[in-house]
């Protein structure tokens, strides 16, 4: 839902309607950003200003592709922008992937962030060791939520059921496993530093993993682009430097452990005797060929078994096709486009992860969306998109939806949900207590 307010400013005469499947707006800002990263959610204020613009209307509870087709939208509007992100996830493709105790990070994050479709997950946290596959920021978010003191979590907007499960959790050790080496981790320094500073935890990085880097000359590390250099230096410091006395004391008292494990790929998820749940994972040991971002993980033939009762796969999200009439590149899992203009389809655009694939931070995706907005404006100004004749817009779509028994949720309906969540949260010292089912959201929206 990265509809930038630039678009409103640029399109001085235009009206913008936003269609969203859930009754509530904001997408990943609400359901993806970790509960203990509230400042990242401040961008909601900018979105809210945009939504409240008199020429902008939000229609929640509308499933595009099911309640209304893309073709119908294209007939009703001069331009349609697809901005629905990546709600699928990449599968590991190994035996045992569907055993109990194995979850995708997408579902696990959806669970603790209140995504209605993930509320039945009920992950079993009655084990000592959890393994997370993947070393990006989502993997670190999951690790941090599993290990953070619940005294901290209870003041966030994490859901109440998730909080209760974490309070009871027996998980004491989290391994964050990657196919390649330290110089290929996909996470960023802010998240890594948060692990280093996480109260009541200590790192268990293995010095050997960094031998290869040490043997590189100092120049090689200092020649790296700044973000990679600073992150590599911090990892090396965490793995190799002897901590100060104060830090050693803090670490000795810590009740939880986290570690990065490198050069390991999943081969098979191991099951208990009656094949009902996971008890561990078999990992292939890799070596690296090449260096930098292009380095490849090559199996050595060795394997290693790791005991764990919880396995979370965090190897990437994936966009899904919305409507057969929209071109879709299933190899890259994006809508093929040129600067946001969908190939072979005038008047249809895409932005965000659907356009470029599911990576990047707010700044990246924001700029990406601004680019698409510029393409739309250019096309309107050049006549590629013919705006000389008016289009019915929401009038005709509302008519269709009514015929089909679909009742959209407006932005002011959402604000009732928002108010209720915030006042429920206040009672327990949380910024909000999220509603967890679509039914409840609709009930409150319509009061």
Partner 1 sequence: MAASAAVRSSMGLTFRLSRVMPDCNTCPLNRLKSCVSGAANVQRRGSFDSFRTINRNLQTSKGLYHSEEGSSNAEDPEDVVNVVYIDRSGKRIPVKAKVGDNVLYLAHKHGIDLEGACEASLACSTCQVYVSADHFDKLPEPEEREDDMLDMAPMLQENSRLGCQITLTRDLDGIELTLPKVTRNFYVDGHVPKPH
Specify binding-site residues.
20, 28, 64, 135-138, 179-180, 191, 353, 360-362
Residue 250 within binding range of partner 1, rule CB under 8 A: no
Nearest approach, Cβ of residue 49 and partner 1 (Å): 5
Binding positions for NADP(+): 135-138, 179-180, 191, 360
Of 301 and 429, which CB lies nearer to partner 1 in the complex structure?
429
Q: Calculate the alpha carbon distances from 346 to 46, 79, 231, 339, 340 in Å.
A: 30, 8, 43, 13, 11
CA distance 265 to 263: 7
What's the Cα-to-Cα distance from 99 to each of 121, 123, 268, 443, rounded to whole Å? 13, 12, 11, 36
Binding segment for partner 1 (CB under 8 A), chosen from 93-101, 170-178, 186-194, 395-403, is 186-194
Q: What is the DSSP string of 360-396?
A: --HHHHHHHHHHHHHHHHHHHHHTSS--SS---THHH
Judged by CB under 8 A, does residue 38 bind partner 1?
Answer: yes
In angstroms, the CA 286 to CA 371 distance is 40
Tell me: does residue 436 bind partner 1 (CB under 8 A): no
Of 218, 219, 242, 363, the one binding partner 1 (CB under 8 A) is: 363
Q: Is 290 in the site for partner 1 (CB under 8 A)?
A: no
Among 319, 417, 326, 248, smallest CA distance to 74 is for: 326
The helix (H) or strand (E) run that includes residue 147 is: helix 137-147
- Assess 416 for contact with partner 1 (CB under 8 A): no
Regarding 434 and contact with partner 1 (CB under 8 A), the answer is: no
Is residue 39 near partner 1 by the rule CB under 8 A? yes
Near partner 1 by CB under 8 A: residue from 361, 399, 428, 443: 361
Measure the CA–CA gap between 429 and 447, rounded to whole angstroms: 25
The answer to the question of residue 294 lying near partner 1 (CB under 8 A) is: no
**In this complex, which beta carbon is closest to partner 1, that of residue 197 or of residue 388?**
197
Binding marks (x or -) toward partner 1, 137..166, rule CB under 8 A? Answer: ------------------xx----------
To partner 1, the closest distance from the beta carbon of 189 in angstroms equals: 5
Q: What residues between 52 and 71 interact with partner 1 by CB under 8 A?
A: 52
Q: Say if CB 309 and CB 293 are below 8 A apart.
A: no
- The answer to whether residue 189 forms part of the interface with partner 1 (CB under 8 A) is yes
Select the residue interacting with partner 1 from 72, 204, 233, 371 (CB under 8 A): 371
CA distances from 176 to 36, 130, 137, 302, 367 (A): 19, 9, 11, 19, 31
Q: Which is nearer to partner 1, 219 or 363 (CB)?
A: 363
According to CB under 8 A, which residues from 88 to 127 bind partner 1?
none
- The CA distance from 417 to 398, in Å, is 22
Question: Which residue stretch of 15-23, 46-54, 105-113, 343-351 sits at the interface with partner 1 (rule: CB under 8 A)?
Answer: 46-54
Nearest to 162 by CA among 181, 145, 182, 179: 145
Taking residues 221 to 240 in sequence order and writing x for each that binds partner 1 by CB under 8 A, - otherwise, the string is ----xxx--xx---------
Q: What sign has the CA pseudo-torsion 165, 171, 174, 177? A: negative
State the minimum distance, in angstroms, from the CB of residue 155 to partner 1. 5
CA atoms within 13 A on the CB side of 307: 6
Residue indicated by tokens 């209307």 = 57
Q: Under the rule (CB under 8 A), what is the footprint of partner 1?
A: 6, 36-46, 48-49, 52, 155-156, 188-190, 193, 225-227, 230-231, 293, 339, 359-364, 366-368, 370-371, 422, 425, 429, 431-432
């Amino acid at each position: 839902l990265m509809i930038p307010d630039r678009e409103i400013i640029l399109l001085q005469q235009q009206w913008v309607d936003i269609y969203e499947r859930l009754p509530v707006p904001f997408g990943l800002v609400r359901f993806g950003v970790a509960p203990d990263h509230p400042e990242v959610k401040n961008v909601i204020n900018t979105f809210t200003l945009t939504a409240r613009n008199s020429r902008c209307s939000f229609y929640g509870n509308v499933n595009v592709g099911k309640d209304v087709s893309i073709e119908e939208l294209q007939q009703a509007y001069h331009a349609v922008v697809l901005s629905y992100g990546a709600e699928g996830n990449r599968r590991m493709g190994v035996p045992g992937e569907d055993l109990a105790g194995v979850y995708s990070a997408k579902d696990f994050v959806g669970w603790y962030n209140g995504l209605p479709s993930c509320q039945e997950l009920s992950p079993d946290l009655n084990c000592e060791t959890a393994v997370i596959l993947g070393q990006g920021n989502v993997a670190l978010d999951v690790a941090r939520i599993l290990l953070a003191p619940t005294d901290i979590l209870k003041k966030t907007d994490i859901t109440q059921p998730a909080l209760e499960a974490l309070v009871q959790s027996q998980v004491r050790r989290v391994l964050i496993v990657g196919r390649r080496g330290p110089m290929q981790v996909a996470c960023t320094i802010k998240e890594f530093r948060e692990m280093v500073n996480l109260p009541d935890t200590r790192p268990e990085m293995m010095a050997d993993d960094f031998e290869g880097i040490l043997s590189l000359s100092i120049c090689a590390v200092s020649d790296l682009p700044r973000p990679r250099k600073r992150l590599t230096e911090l990892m090396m410091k965490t793995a190799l430097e002897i901590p100060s006395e104060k830090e050693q004391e803090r670490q000795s008292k810590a009740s939880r452990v986290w570690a990065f494990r490198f050069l390991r790929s999943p081969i098979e998820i191991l099951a208990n005797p009656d094949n009902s749940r996971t008890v561990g994972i078999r990992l292939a040991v890799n070596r690296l060929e090449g260096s930098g971002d292009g380095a490849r993980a090559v199996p050595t033939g060795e394997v290693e078994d790791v005991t764990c009762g919880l396995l979370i796969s965090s190897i990437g999200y994936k966009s899904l096709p919305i409507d057969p009439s929209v071109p879709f590149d299933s190899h890259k899992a994006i809508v093929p486009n040129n600067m946001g203009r969908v190939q072979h389809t005038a008047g249809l655009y895409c932005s965000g992860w659907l356009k470029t694939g599911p990576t990047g931070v707010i700044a990246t995706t924001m700029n990406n969306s601004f680019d698409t907005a510029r393409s739309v404006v250019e096309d309107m100004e050049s006549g590629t998109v013919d705006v000389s004749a008016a289009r019915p817009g929401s009038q005709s779509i509302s008519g269709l939806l009514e015929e089909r028994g679909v009742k959209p949720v407006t932005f002011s309906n959402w604000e009732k949900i928002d108010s209720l969540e915030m006042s429920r949260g206040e009672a327990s010292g949380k910024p909000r207590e999220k509603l967890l089912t679509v039914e409840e959201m609709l009930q409150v929206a319509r009061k």
